Structure 1
Amino acid sequence: MAGGSFGPAGVAKERAQQYQGKVTASVIIACMVAATGGSLFGYDVGISGGVTSMDGFLSKFFHNVYEKKQHAKENNYCKYDDQGLATFTSSLYLAGLVASLVASPITRSYGRRASIIIGGISFFVGASLNAAAVHIAMLLAGRIMLGIGIGFGNQAVPLYLSEMAPTHLRGGLNMLFQLATTLGIFSANMVNYGTQKLEPWGWRLSLGLAAVPAFLMAVGGMLLPETPNSLIERGQEAKGRKVLEKIRGTSNVDAEFEDMVDASEMANSIKHPFRNILERRNRPQLVMAICMPASQIMTGINAILFYAPVLFQSMGFGKDAALYSSASTGAVLFFSTFLSIAAVDKLGRRMLLISGGIIMIICQVTVSIILGLKFGTNEHLSKGYSVLVVVVVCLFVLGFGWSWGPLGWTVPSEIFPLEIRSAGQSITVSVNFLFTFIIGQCFLSMLCAFKFGIFLFFAGWVTLMTAFVYFFLPETKGVPIEETVLLWRKHWFWKKIVGEEMESRGTPNGNAVEMDEAVRNIQ
């Protein structure tokens, strides 16, 4: 390895200024196809909430909820409080949690494409089972297969996007995953709006159409090129350089290729990445892999997106109005992602996360006040206040859509050194699914118990995580993916942890001056 490298602390050199290349059609098309994996996640998030409010679905699988829904005197906040119904939604994410851990060694040993293809096929099978379900066991089996598909897709796609993208556009291209997710949510809301008029079988069409993005993901994965990082890591250096030259549009890729080769040497020396990720030098990345996805879910966004029709019906909206209102939030989420794509590589990750957090706090407190003052347990909101609630919820979704929505996936995917990158992404996905499962399973009961206070509960979490970003997350804008390890060495807090270990281990040439100079250049 060349002088100035970090040895055990990861590959990180002063080569970023030597990177050549431009945005090519190959990289744009590859990233767009790969990002369709996000539409699987989004479609399920959007579709499950609408389906669980449809009378035909409830009457067939959750008849007690259907009966409660028909009683006007039932507490508005508690009509849908049923653990079986919650399990229908949350079981997918428990399966996804396990699948994401299984996907890590497959993604590392067989490439990012392999996991993308497996994810698409599994999701296709799950969609087919759900559409044809005649009893609850078949319905849950389909949800588990959907979860396996999402677990593989969410593990591989963000990695694929980060590794294919040129450094100066990595944030924007990585957000194609979130853009596809929001498009999936919006599409699902539109499908639900149409199929809820096809009672009692419309829910089958809603669930079955999930096979469409799954098919696109599986076929697209077969046509995609593998990332040069993965090829080099698996010993195919010549092929990796060829792909790198193609996606960068130039043969002058020596600097970037050398960084990948050095990272690969380090990666292949690590036999137990899940064990190595626990070491002190990787402590900052491990903390982010846990806190970022956990915080993303604790914004409360999944509760709103999962149960938007249920939530709006609980507030007194009619069936059509509830689905229409939830479709509005899906549309806002989709278009807000474009704002994030346009701004992330200009304003940086921290600016978007902090500003989005402030907006979400204000909106959640506002909704809580409106419901607390104007909405009783057996009453309906007036038309004026109903419109105001929808507007404020849409503003909340807007704040999430340009901040924690895309960046909850982008930041963890770009901060790990190659030797633990797949393991780190698995932890990120697993934590995301764990908290999604918990919120999905508990939200209906929490809504019944907390009533309007549920929004204050989530606002408190958003306050904590916004402060966490301000104090502990360094800016990764414009930093090559193989050099982000240097950021922790410079950070006011993390340098106390990783800096001391780097110095105690030393660099191969003992050149701490070069290491500090590399840190200053990145900053």
Structure 2
Amino acid sequence: MTVPVYIAEVSPPHLRGQLVTINNLFITGGQFIATVIDGAFSYMSHGGWRYMLGLSVVPAVLQFCGFLFLPESPRWLLQKGRSQEARHALSRIRGGQNVDEEYDSIRSSIEDEEKESGGGGIVILRMLKYGPTRRALFVGCGLQMFQQLSGVNTVMYYSATILQMAGVRDIKRAIWLSSATSATNFVFTMFGVWLVERVGRRKLTLGSLLGTGLSLTVLAFGFLMSAQYSPPITLHPVDPQNLTCTLYGSCESCMLDPDCGFCYRENGTAVYDSSCVPVSAASTDHAAWGSCYNQTGQELPDSSLWAYNYCPTPYSWIVLLSLILYLASFAPGMGPMPWTINSEIYPMWARSTGNACSAGVNWICNALVSLTFLHIAQMLTYYGAFFLYSGLVVLGLLFVQGCLPETKGMQLEDVDHLFSGPLCSCGASAPPTDSSNVQYTRNQPETSPAQYGAAGSDRAIAFITVSTETRCAQALNTLCTKCNVRCVCVHSSDNGDQVALNNFIQSTFIHNFLFALFHVLFAF
């Protein structure tokens, strides 16, 4: 949680998205290296998992030593009243460049934010009372929730198990194939680093969700094909333990019972002499009795094979392909973007609390999805579970489309103005690349309405009082574009000019004016 916040606070605006995304890139790189190490230690018959866990100490120690040399965030120092330290830290981060203008801008913005938010008190309560931060918190937590509800950590945690479920018999082979999915996650996160400042956060997230949903649907169909052509059970031996395993009629139904396993023989791709028998209480590596009493995935003296939690199928390639497509879609967008966006959308006084809340939602949903996956698979079947995740991704797509504004290239101190309007309305659209729809006037009471494009215009005009030209362009472009309203920003000292212009519009374009006024009032 702390790392993306720190990176966002010390980065220049044009590099902020890339630098926060690089943090996620190295996380996925670490996951890939971990799966390779897991594959190497999978050949150890005893104690390999201890080495897997123990080696994680090495990068943790290196990271701790590196953190000791990091300067503190200048924004945090200013918020705590340590101005000299803040100036020194900012100068150090910027490589000794002149930082007076940036320093003054940050200090002024922090002072304004404190006034707008109502001063002291419990931060989370201030966030909930103050409209822009309340809306930003909703969007930030929603992004983290849908990241996990898309099933990413089910895929990452259970990738080897999912491949086994799809029919990959050898556990070592399944582990190595899972490292291929981790490599896909790592490689395609690089595309996110390249795209985040080119296409923007919003488009990247939408495209990622679309690809993720389609990949989950293909994954579900892969399991559905395996279930439709599941090998039948041909032998029903007498069960000495009086369990229900021998009553099942197909491998699919046998596999969904955690107390049962599938014992069979193969002739090429044909399965014969198949039965569903209880799994051993000591280990899932063999059956409790019968011809599959010994080992997993190896031929026994009578050529019997034992399968627990999977069925032999020719469609495992569909599952592997869809897993790769899933991570290729997820990695550039929904992987890093929730963290990148959450590091940008809160004002300084609420940034740490907002990120803590959204990270908490992420980990709660992470635990929820991870702990319930196998139970959901038993209740809904494996293809039903992935169809469910696909449906949740569609909800996430609608959420992002309606509620997420674009923050690319904006100063951190100006992002909160994107949430000054109503949530999930016109203010949720991405800002255009130009300012053609927004005009700004200051100290020009003699200006005629024609200069604003009112004469002969077929669109409504909205007038909103602002204090700076920057906030006009950044906060109002979203409203103008999506609502098809031509906006005029009037400086707070130009009230007389604003009234005259409003009177003119009311007398000539009353219908369009009322339409625009409705959106403007609703935005406030």
TM-score range normalised by the length of the shorter chain: 0.5 to 0.7
Give the corresponding residue for 2:146: 295
CA distance in 1, matches of 2:216, 2:193: 25
CA distance in 1, matches of 2:357, 2:185: 25
Contact 1:489 1:519 in 2 (8 A): no
| Deviations 1:217-249 (CA, angstroms, capped at 9, x unpaired) | 211111111111122222221121122123223
Is 1:340 matched with 2:340?
A: no
Instruction: Please give the TM-score of this superposition, normalised by the length of structure 1.
Output: 0.65
CA distance in 2, matches of 1:312, 1:487: 44
Give the corresponding residue for 1:449: 379
Identity of paired residues, percent?
28
| Structure 1 residue 316, shift from structure 2 partner | 2.0
SS of residue matched to 2:128: coil
Is 1:514 matched with 2:463?
A: no
Is 1:219 matched with 2:49?
A: no
The one of 176, 179, 191 aligned to 1:327: 179
- Closer, same or farther in 2 for the Cα pair 1:463/1:515, shift >3 Å? farther
Is 1:271 matched with 2:121?
A: yes
CA distance in 2, matches of 1:355, 1:316: 31
- The aligned amino acid for 1:178 is N
| Deviations 1:95-119 (CA, angstroms, capped at 9, x unpaired) | xxxxxxxxxxxxxxxxxxxxxxxxx
Instruction: Please give the TM-score of this superposition, normalised by the length of structure 2.
Output: 0.64
Give the corresponding residue for 1:402: 332
* Greater length-normalized contact order (CA 8 Å, ≥ 6 residues apart): 1
| Deviations 1:71-108 (CA, angstroms, capped at 9, x unpaired) | xxxxxxxxxxxxxxxxxxxxxxxxxxxxxxxxxxxxxx
Q: Superposed, which structure 2 residues align to 1:103-502 within 5 Å?
A: 155-249=1-95, 251-265=97-111, 266-267=113-114, 269-281=119-131, 282-317=133-168, 318-375=170-227, 376=230, 377=252, 378=255, 380-383=311-314, 385-451=315-381, 452-489=383-420, 493=424
SS of residue matched to 1:478: coil
CA distance in 2, matches of 1:263, 1:520: 16
- Closer, same or farther in 2 for the Cα pair 1:422/1:494, shift >3 Å? farther
SS of residue matched to 1:513: strand
| Structure 1 residue 176, shift from structure 2 partner | 1.9
Give the corresponding residue for 2:273: none
SS of residue matched to 2:311: coil
- Closer, same or farther in 2 for the Cα pair 1:267/1:193, shift >3 Å? farther
| Structure 1 residue 440, shift from structure 2 partner | 1.8
- Structure (1/2) with the larger strand percentage: 2
- The aligned amino acid for 1:199 is S
CA distance in 1, matches of 2:373, 2:366: 10
- The aligned amino acid for 1:271 is G
Name the Cα RMSD after superposition.
Answer: 2.2
- Closer, same or farther in 2 for the Cα pair 1:495/1:234, shift >3 Å? farther
- Structure (1/2) with the larger helix percentage: 1
SS of residue matched to 1:414: coil
Give the corresponding residue for 1:150: none
Contact 2:135 2:423 in 1 (8 A): no
Contact 1:487 1:519 in 2 (8 A): no
| Structure 1 residue 392, shift from structure 2 partner | 1.4
SS of residue matched to 1:316: coil
| Structure 1 residue 207, shift from structure 2 partner | 1.0
Aligned residues: 355
CA distance in 1, matches of 2:72, 2:366: 30
SS of residue matched to 2:72: coil
Contact 2:166 2:319 in 1 (8 A): no
CA distance in 1, matches of 2:327, 2:172: 21
Larger-Rg structure: 2
CA distance in 1, matches of 2:105, 2:464: 19
| Structure 1 residue 280, shift from structure 2 partner | 3.9
CA distance in 1, matches of 2:35, 2:76: 36
- In structure 1, list runs of 5 or more residues that go unmatched: 1-154, 498-510
- The aligned amino acid for 2:204 is L
After TM superposition, which residue ranges in structure 1, 4 or more long, deviate above 4 angstroms? 490-497
